[in-house]
Amino acid sequence: MQSKRVWAQLLGLTRVVLEGVDFDELDEVLVVSVRPRKGSAKPRCGVCGERCPRYDNGSGRRRWRALDLGTVRAFVEADAPRVRCREHGVVVVQVPWARHGAGHTLAFDDTVAWLAVQTSRSAVQQLMRVAWRTVGAIVARVSADAAAKTDRFAGLRRIGIDEISYKRGQRYLTVVVDHDTRRLIWAAVGRDRAGLHRFFDALGDERAAQITHVSSDSADWVASVVAARCPNAAQCADPFHVIQWVQAALDDVRREAGTPPAGHCGGRLLVIGDHVIPS
Protein backbone atom coordinates (compact mmCIF):
# COMPACT_ATOMS: atom_id res chain seq x y z
CA MET A 1 0.00 0.00 0.00
CA GLN A 2 2.83 2.35 0.80
CA SER A 3 4.33 1.94 -2.68
CA LYS A 4 0.95 2.71 -4.28
CA ARG A 5 0.70 5.98 -2.37
CA VAL A 6 4.18 6.87 -3.58
CA TRP A 7 3.19 6.27 -7.20
CA ALA A 8 0.07 8.36 -6.73
CA GLN A 9 2.10 11.24 -5.28
CA LEU A 10 4.71 11.06 -8.04
CA LEU A 11 2.03 11.28 -10.74
CA GLY A 12 -0.16 13.84 -8.96
CA LEU A 13 -3.13 11.48 -8.64
CA THR A 14 -5.89 11.81 -6.05
CA ARG A 15 -9.11 9.89 -5.31
CA VAL A 16 -7.93 6.85 -7.23
CA VAL A 17 -7.09 3.21 -6.59
CA LEU A 18 -3.89 2.00 -8.22
CA GLU A 19 -4.38 -1.39 -9.82
CA GLY A 20 -0.92 -1.90 -11.22
CA VAL A 21 2.30 -0.43 -12.60
CA ASP A 22 3.86 -1.81 -15.79
CA PHE A 23 6.61 -0.81 -18.20
CA ASP A 24 5.56 -0.93 -21.84
CA GLU A 25 8.75 -2.09 -23.53
CA LEU A 26 7.35 -1.52 -27.01
CA ASP A 27 6.66 2.20 -26.45
CA GLU A 28 9.22 2.53 -23.63
CA VAL A 29 6.72 4.19 -21.30
CA LEU A 30 5.51 3.57 -17.76
CA VAL A 31 1.80 2.70 -17.53
CA VAL A 32 -0.08 3.07 -14.25
CA SER A 33 -3.50 1.40 -14.22
CA VAL A 34 -6.08 3.10 -12.00
CA ARG A 35 -9.76 3.32 -11.21
CA PRO A 36 -11.75 5.93 -9.26
CA ARG A 37 -12.22 5.30 -5.57
CA LYS A 38 -15.52 3.78 -4.54
CA GLY A 39 -16.81 7.05 -3.10
CA SER A 40 -16.11 8.96 -6.34
CA ALA A 41 -17.04 6.19 -8.75
CA LYS A 42 -20.66 7.28 -9.25
CA PRO A 43 -20.87 8.18 -12.95
CA ARG A 44 -21.00 11.89 -13.71
CA CYS A 45 -21.06 13.90 -16.92
CA GLY A 46 -17.54 14.79 -18.00
CA VAL A 47 -18.70 18.30 -19.00
CA CYS A 48 -20.95 19.52 -16.17
CA GLY A 49 -20.29 16.98 -13.43
CA GLU A 50 -23.94 16.04 -12.92
CA ARG A 51 -24.78 12.46 -12.00
CA CYS A 52 -25.92 10.54 -15.05
CA PRO A 53 -26.90 6.97 -15.98
CA ARG A 54 -24.22 4.85 -17.59
CA TYR A 55 -24.56 4.54 -21.36
CA ASP A 56 -21.87 2.08 -22.53
CA ASN A 57 -18.20 1.16 -22.19
CA GLY A 58 -17.09 3.80 -24.68
CA SER A 59 -13.88 2.94 -26.51
CA GLY A 60 -12.61 0.74 -23.68
CA ARG A 61 -9.28 1.37 -21.96
CA ARG A 62 -7.74 4.79 -22.45
CA ARG A 63 -4.43 6.47 -21.59
CA TRP A 64 -3.69 9.96 -20.29
CA ARG A 65 -0.20 11.44 -20.41
CA ALA A 66 1.13 12.00 -16.87
CA LEU A 67 4.16 13.86 -15.55
CA ASP A 68 7.43 12.32 -16.67
CA LEU A 69 9.43 10.31 -14.18
CA GLY A 70 12.88 11.62 -14.95
CA THR A 71 13.52 10.70 -18.58
CA VAL A 72 10.73 8.11 -18.69
CA ARG A 73 7.33 9.11 -20.03
CA ALA A 74 4.40 7.99 -17.91
CA PHE A 75 0.74 7.35 -18.65
CA VAL A 76 -2.36 6.75 -16.57
CA GLU A 77 -4.58 4.01 -17.96
CA ALA A 78 -8.21 3.36 -17.03
CA ASP A 79 -11.62 2.43 -18.36
CA ALA A 80 -13.44 5.30 -20.09
CA PRO A 81 -17.16 4.47 -20.12
CA ARG A 82 -19.76 6.92 -21.38
CA VAL A 83 -22.82 8.39 -19.68
CA ARG A 84 -25.96 10.01 -20.99
CA CYS A 85 -26.36 13.58 -19.75
CA ARG A 86 -29.70 15.35 -20.09
CA GLU A 87 -27.88 18.54 -21.14
CA HIS A 88 -24.80 17.32 -23.02
CA GLY A 89 -25.93 14.00 -24.43
CA VAL A 90 -23.63 10.99 -24.53
CA VAL A 91 -20.18 11.93 -23.20
CA VAL A 92 -17.19 10.25 -21.56
CA VAL A 93 -17.59 9.90 -17.81
CA GLN A 94 -15.86 12.38 -15.50
CA VAL A 95 -12.55 11.14 -14.07
CA PRO A 96 -10.74 12.63 -11.05
CA TRP A 97 -7.32 12.77 -12.70
CA ALA A 98 -8.04 14.71 -15.93
CA ARG A 99 -10.21 17.44 -17.44
CA HIS A 100 -12.89 16.52 -19.93
CA GLY A 101 -11.57 16.10 -23.45
CA ALA A 102 -7.95 16.21 -22.31
CA GLY A 103 -5.29 13.68 -23.16
CA HIS A 104 -3.20 14.66 -20.14
CA THR A 105 -3.63 14.47 -16.39
CA LEU A 106 -4.49 17.51 -14.26
CA ALA A 107 -0.96 17.64 -12.88
CA PHE A 108 0.51 17.59 -16.38
CA ASP A 109 -1.85 20.32 -17.61
CA ASP A 110 -1.17 22.57 -14.62
CA THR A 111 2.59 22.16 -14.93
CA VAL A 112 2.57 23.03 -18.64
CA ALA A 113 0.37 26.09 -18.05
CA TRP A 114 2.70 27.34 -15.29
CA LEU A 115 5.77 26.84 -17.46
CA ALA A 116 4.12 28.67 -20.37
CA VAL A 117 3.95 31.77 -18.17
CA GLN A 118 7.37 31.43 -16.58
CA THR A 119 9.60 30.22 -19.43
CA SER A 120 10.13 30.46 -23.17
CA ARG A 121 8.25 28.52 -25.81
CA SER A 122 11.22 26.29 -26.63
CA ALA A 123 11.81 25.51 -22.95
CA VAL A 124 8.23 24.31 -22.45
CA GLN A 125 8.35 22.17 -25.57
CA GLN A 126 11.66 20.54 -24.76
CA LEU A 127 11.07 20.01 -21.05
CA MET A 128 7.54 18.59 -21.36
CA ARG A 129 8.12 16.97 -24.77
CA VAL A 130 4.97 18.34 -26.38
CA ALA A 131 4.22 20.43 -29.46
CA TRP A 132 3.57 24.17 -29.09
CA ARG A 133 0.02 23.69 -30.40
CA THR A 134 -0.56 21.23 -27.56
CA VAL A 135 0.72 23.83 -25.08
CA GLY A 136 -1.84 26.30 -26.41
CA ALA A 137 -4.68 23.80 -26.01
CA ILE A 138 -3.58 23.02 -22.45
CA VAL A 139 -3.36 26.70 -21.50
CA ALA A 140 -6.88 27.24 -22.87
CA ARG A 141 -8.22 24.36 -20.75
CA VAL A 142 -6.51 25.48 -17.56
CA SER A 143 -7.54 29.11 -18.11
CA ALA A 144 -11.18 28.17 -18.71
CA ASP A 145 -11.17 25.98 -15.62
CA ALA A 146 -9.74 28.77 -13.46
CA ALA A 147 -12.16 31.34 -14.89
CA ALA A 148 -15.13 29.13 -14.06
CA LYS A 149 -14.02 28.98 -10.41
CA THR A 150 -13.13 32.67 -10.00
CA ASP A 151 -15.27 35.80 -10.16
CA ARG A 152 -12.77 38.32 -11.52
CA PHE A 153 -15.37 41.09 -11.54
CA ALA A 154 -16.25 40.83 -7.85
CA GLY A 155 -15.78 44.09 -5.93
CA LEU A 156 -14.59 46.21 -8.85
CA ARG A 157 -14.38 49.89 -7.94
CA ARG A 158 -11.36 51.38 -9.72
CA ILE A 159 -10.32 50.06 -13.11
CA GLY A 160 -7.84 50.97 -15.81
CA ILE A 161 -8.44 50.58 -19.56
CA ASP A 162 -5.59 50.59 -22.06
CA GLU A 163 -4.34 49.01 -25.25
CA ILE A 164 -1.18 47.05 -25.91
CA SER A 165 0.36 46.08 -29.23
CA TYR A 166 1.73 42.71 -30.29
CA LYS A 167 2.96 41.07 -33.49
CA ARG A 168 5.51 43.88 -33.97
CA GLY A 169 2.94 46.54 -33.25
CA GLN A 170 0.59 45.49 -36.04
CA ARG A 171 -2.16 44.16 -33.78
CA TYR A 172 -3.71 45.36 -30.53
CA LEU A 173 -5.37 44.08 -27.40
CA THR A 174 -7.75 46.02 -25.19
CA VAL A 175 -6.97 45.25 -21.55
CA VAL A 176 -8.79 46.10 -18.32
CA VAL A 177 -7.07 45.96 -14.93
CA ASP A 178 -8.26 46.25 -11.34
CA HIS A 179 -6.28 49.06 -9.70
CA ASP A 180 -7.00 47.77 -6.20
CA THR A 181 -5.74 44.21 -6.76
CA ARG A 182 -3.36 45.14 -9.61
CA ARG A 183 -4.63 42.22 -11.65
CA LEU A 184 -5.66 41.84 -15.26
CA ILE A 185 -9.39 41.09 -15.29
CA TRP A 186 -10.28 41.17 -19.00
CA ALA A 187 -8.64 41.33 -22.42
CA ALA A 188 -9.81 41.08 -26.03
CA VAL A 189 -8.39 41.47 -29.50
CA GLY A 190 -8.80 44.94 -31.01
CA ARG A 191 -9.12 48.51 -29.73
CA ASP A 192 -12.55 49.88 -30.53
CA ARG A 193 -15.88 50.75 -28.98
CA ALA A 194 -17.49 47.43 -29.87
CA GLY A 195 -14.78 45.50 -28.06
CA LEU A 196 -15.03 47.65 -24.94
CA HIS A 197 -18.82 47.31 -24.94
CA ARG A 198 -18.29 43.54 -24.73
CA PHE A 199 -16.42 44.02 -21.46
CA PHE A 200 -19.28 46.02 -19.96
CA ASP A 201 -21.78 43.48 -21.27
CA ALA A 202 -19.88 40.79 -19.36
CA LEU A 203 -19.62 43.04 -16.30
CA GLY A 204 -23.31 43.88 -16.19
CA ASP A 205 -25.07 47.18 -15.55
CA GLU A 206 -25.37 46.66 -11.78
CA ARG A 207 -21.63 46.16 -11.29
CA ALA A 208 -20.75 48.88 -13.79
CA ALA A 209 -22.77 51.34 -11.70
CA GLN A 210 -20.55 50.51 -8.70
CA ILE A 211 -17.32 51.57 -10.44
CA THR A 212 -16.06 54.87 -9.06
CA HIS A 213 -12.94 55.60 -11.16
CA VAL A 214 -11.76 54.65 -14.65
CA SER A 215 -8.26 55.52 -15.84
CA SER A 216 -7.23 55.54 -19.50
CA ASP A 217 -5.28 57.48 -22.11
CA SER A 218 -8.42 59.59 -22.70
CA ALA A 219 -8.94 58.23 -26.21
CA ASP A 220 -12.41 59.02 -27.60
CA TRP A 221 -13.31 55.36 -28.13
CA VAL A 222 -12.70 54.70 -24.42
CA ALA A 223 -14.17 57.91 -22.99
CA SER A 224 -17.44 57.64 -24.89
CA VAL A 225 -18.07 54.03 -23.87
CA VAL A 226 -17.18 54.68 -20.23
CA ALA A 227 -19.50 57.71 -20.14
CA ALA A 228 -22.33 55.58 -21.47
CA ARG A 229 -21.76 52.43 -19.42
CA CYS A 230 -20.29 53.77 -16.14
CA PRO A 231 -22.59 56.66 -15.16
CA ASN A 232 -21.12 57.04 -11.65
CA ALA A 233 -17.43 56.77 -12.55
CA ALA A 234 -14.92 59.62 -12.67
CA GLN A 235 -12.71 59.40 -15.75
CA CYS A 236 -9.01 59.88 -14.99
CA ALA A 237 -5.83 60.10 -17.02
CA ASP A 238 -3.35 57.41 -16.02
CA PRO A 239 0.09 58.54 -14.70
CA PHE A 240 2.03 57.02 -17.59
CA HIS A 241 0.24 59.09 -20.20
CA VAL A 242 0.29 62.24 -18.04
CA ILE A 243 4.09 62.07 -17.83
CA GLN A 244 4.27 61.24 -21.53
CA TRP A 245 2.19 64.30 -22.42
CA VAL A 246 4.23 66.55 -20.14
CA GLN A 247 7.47 65.27 -21.64
CA ALA A 248 6.16 65.91 -25.15
CA ALA A 249 5.06 69.44 -24.17
CA LEU A 250 8.50 70.19 -22.68
CA ASP A 251 10.15 68.95 -25.87
CA ASP A 252 7.98 71.34 -27.90
CA VAL A 253 9.01 74.24 -25.63
CA ARG A 254 12.68 73.30 -25.95
CA ARG A 255 12.40 73.20 -29.73
CA GLU A 256 10.82 76.64 -29.81
CA ALA A 257 13.60 77.94 -27.56
CA GLY A 258 16.28 76.32 -29.71
CA THR A 259 17.21 73.77 -27.02
CA PRO A 260 17.53 70.08 -27.96
CA PRO A 261 14.61 67.94 -26.72
CA ALA A 262 15.03 65.99 -23.50
CA GLY A 263 15.57 62.75 -25.37
CA HIS A 264 18.64 64.24 -27.10
CA CYS A 265 20.32 65.90 -24.14
CA GLY A 266 19.58 63.45 -21.36
CA GLY A 267 16.95 65.70 -19.74
CA ARG A 268 14.70 64.13 -17.15
CA LEU A 269 11.49 64.94 -15.31
CA LEU A 270 11.56 65.33 -11.56
CA VAL A 271 8.20 64.57 -9.94
CA ILE A 272 7.69 66.16 -6.50
CA GLY A 273 4.23 65.73 -5.07
CA ASP A 274 1.83 67.13 -7.65
CA HIS A 275 4.57 69.05 -9.51
CA VAL A 276 6.54 67.96 -12.56
CA ILE A 277 9.86 69.82 -12.92
CA PRO A 278 12.30 69.43 -15.84
CA SER A 279 15.84 68.64 -14.67
Q: How far apart are CA 200 and CA 218, in angstroms?
A: 18
Q: What is the mean pLDDT of residues 18-39?
A: 86
pLDDT in tens, 168-202: 767 899 999 999 998 899 999 988 899 999 999 99
Residue 111 CA neighbour count, 13 Å, CB half:
18
pLDDT in tens, 109-131: 999 999 999 998 889 999 999 99
Q: What is the mean pLDDT of residues 261-273?
A: 50
Q: What is the mean pLDDT of residues 203-220?
A: 90
pLDDT for 109: 95
Global pTM? 0.68
Q: What is the mean pLDDT of residues 61-66?
A: 93
Confidence check: pLDDT of 270 > 50? no
**59 phi and psi angles, rounded to 5 deg:** -95, 15
Confidence label for 142 from pLDDT (cuts 50, 70 and 90): very high
Mean pLDDT of the chain: 85
Confidence label for 26 from pLDDT (cuts 50, 70 and 90): confident
